[in-house]
Amino acid sequence: MKSRSSYWQLVPFLRPQATTIFLAFICTLGFTFFWPVLAWLAGRMAKYIGEGNVDALASLAGVAAVVFFLRGASQYGQDSLMANAALKISLALRRKVYAHLQTLSLSYFETAKTGDLAYRLTEDVDRIGEVVNKFFHDFIPSALQLIVVFGYMFFVNWRLTIAVIIIAPLLGVLVGYFGELLLKYSRRSQQGISNIASLLTEVFGGIRVVQAFAAEDYQTRLFAEEAEHNRKAQFLAEKVKALQYVVVGFLQAMGVVFLFFLAGWQISEKRLTGPDFVSYVAAVAMLIDPIAHITSNYNQFKQGQASIDRIFELLTIKPAIVEALDASPLGEITGKVEYRGVSFAYNSDRPVLKNIDFIAHPGEMIALVGPSGAGKTTLVNLLPRFYDPTGGRIFIDGVDIKSVTIKSLRQQIGMVLQENVLFSGTIAQNIAFGQFDFELEDVERAAKIANAHQFIIEQSQGYYTYVGERGVNLSGGQRQRIAIARAVLSNPRILILDEATSALDSESESLVQEALERIMEGRTVFVIAHRLATVRRADRIIVLEQGEIIESGSHEELLAHNGRYAHFHAQQFQIQ
């Protein structure tokens, strides 16, 4: 991505804040106007000090007080207005990126680093907001101050000012050179921080595994290596900034020395008076601060450019699952599901599903059986369009699922998985997940169906008990029953149960199984389970192997057929 185009990508986010930015700019003009006035006052006061004119000095002191007050008021307006605009721009950008990430498909999140995404949404977005704020409330005022003060210096003595201007291009070239170096090392540093954030997310999320394998020293070493890489990148960036300040500062100091030499010569030639020189020196002093600010801001702009590139890189990622332009909402359904010649592959050379054909009639329970890697979970993941088939089509009540809106499709499908994630919040909020407004009576009804009501009311605050991140303060069976209540609350016509009881103890499994049987009534249900006892009462059992349907029928029919299902059944029976 070209550096020149990076900041132009922010224009759509600047437009809504145009009025605020314009008002801030008006304040900036007022703030800038007072700089040459202050330089002029310095010269006049020097004159009256030399003459010993106390009355004139008192008058000028009153004028100076008014000027400083108006200048301060203008600066406050400029800073507060721009801070408000910058924060709103950061908020809009953060919302845009977060909303965009929500549209991306599961395939993206399977490879993306969670820590890196979190860093981009927090640190990178904040840095962009800071840069926008700096640009309008610091860089532009500093640039205008340079222009106005240079104009005043021309007015006082154009010969001295030309000498000053000769030095400026050299400073500009040096600032640009150091800025490009800083951009290079800033990108390395930011990537290093993202890597550290990703590592922390993985480790803290799997701390039980780390401790179980006594891998604390191993993880500490990995963290130390990543932290060292980041330290080196940050140190290189800091070295560039330190060298820049030294070189630019030296040239500024030499410029001032040269200026005094020329001024002395001008005074000796009677082309410059003492008070005018004091005024001129005051103006020169007013150049030092904005030059330093512009140099510092330029460095921050380069660092911000790296953040902009990283943020807009996310916005360029297209979702793998896209709604048709003429997609319509899926209305109320009976629950008939049909797979017609469905094939799927995560990688084109390794098919996971091959030419799958079957029909699930409304209210039927379909069990999917087969060894690990047979394609059972992939098959049901195609139904809510987590992925799209690479061949064939899927229909619900005769409607191609690609012709309906994704939201309306998924609202008709409930899912209970082996590892159900609970989010930070109350139990009620987790059951009514995705709903801003919900009735507690509906939540309680769903919890009773899911055999969860009793343990919930025994919690310290009942349905308003805070469950903690990932529901760590609840047992596996309790989390599973909350997940079942969540699935039943929306009253879906199609239900997917993917190993919903495999990780539970016998007592929890009994409660969960009872809840599952209750919510399966009248719904089209897809069940994936390794324990064949779970699927014996299915209307139809589909046996998958290497992505193909090799058997289909009821429990009794498949046992009589004496094929792969009968073999699985015999194996489990012998183990038991």
Tens digit of each residue's pLDDT, the chain (576 residues): 344 457 888 888 889 999 998 998 899 888 888 877 777 777 777 776 766 677 777 887 888 888 888 888 888 888 889 888 888 888 899 899 888 888 888 888 877 777 788 888 888 888 888 888 888 878 888 888 888 888 888 887 777 777 667 666 666 677 667 767 777 777 777 777 777 777 777 777 667 666 656 677 777 888 888 888 888 888 887 887 778 777 777 776 777 677 777 777 777 777 767 677 777 777 777 777 787 777 777 777 877 888 888 888 888 888 888 888 899 999 889 999 999 999 999 887 788 999 999 999 998 999 999 888 888 989 999 999 989 999 999 999 999 999 999 989 988 898 887 777 777 788 898 888 878 788 899 999 888 888 888 888 988 889 998 886 666 678 878 888 888 888 888 888 998 988 766 555 555 667 767 777 777 878 899 988 776 767 888 899 999 999 999 999 998 999 998 888 888 888 776 544
Rounded to 5 degrees, φ, ψ at 391 are -160, 150
Strands 548-553 and 540-545: antiparallel
Domain spans of the chain, in order of start: 3-315
Task: Judge whether 567 and 555 are in contact, CB under 8 Å.
Answer: no
For residue 233 the two structure tokens come to 């990148």
Q: What is the 3-state secondary structure (H, E, C) of 327-369?
A: CECCCCCCCCEEEEEEEEEEECCEEEEEEEEEEECCCCEEEEE
Q: Where are the beta strands (DSSP E) in 421-488?
A: none
For residue 383 the two structure tokens come to 């139904």
Rounded to 5 degrees, φ, ψ at 203 are -70, -50
Name, in order, each residue with C-beta under 8 angstroms of 493's C-beta and a sequence gap of 6 or more. 332, 333, 334, 335, 362, 412, 523, 524
Q: What is the pTM of this model?
A: 0.69
First-residue to last-residue Cα distance in the chain = 62
Q: What are the b/e assignments for 477-509, b being 16+ CB within 10 Å?
A: bbbbbbbbbbbbbbebbbbbbbbbbeebeeebb
The CATH architecture one would assign to domain 3-315 is Up-down Bundle (1.20)
Task: Judge whether 295 and 175 are in contact, CB under 8 Å.
Answer: yes
